[in-house]
Amino acid sequence: MTQSYRLENIGLINRNKKISFKFNGKNYFGYEGDTLASALIANGVHLIGRSFKYHRPRGFFWSRSR
């Protein structure tokens, strides 16, 4: 599985230590220092769930702080 959404050689993750995990029944991988959100986004997972009432898509939200 490729991580087409991951930036190359940027960030504070340890790319020498790959960690696999399972989310919604599928296997993915991230690196030591990744958050679950950043590993899922890097693997192309953007839809996390849907709202109960209107079934609207839900995903991750992040803000760049300076």
> How many helices (H) and strands (E) are present in the chain, helices listed first?
1, 4
DSSP state of 47: -
pLDDT over 70 at 64, yes or no: no
Per-domain residue ranges of the chain: 1-66
pTM of model > 0.95? no
Band of the pLDDT at 66, cuts 50, 70, 90? low
| Single-letter code of the amino acid located at 37 | A
Task: Give residue-wise pLDDT tens across range 5-32.
Answer: 787 777 888 999 999 999 999 999 999 9
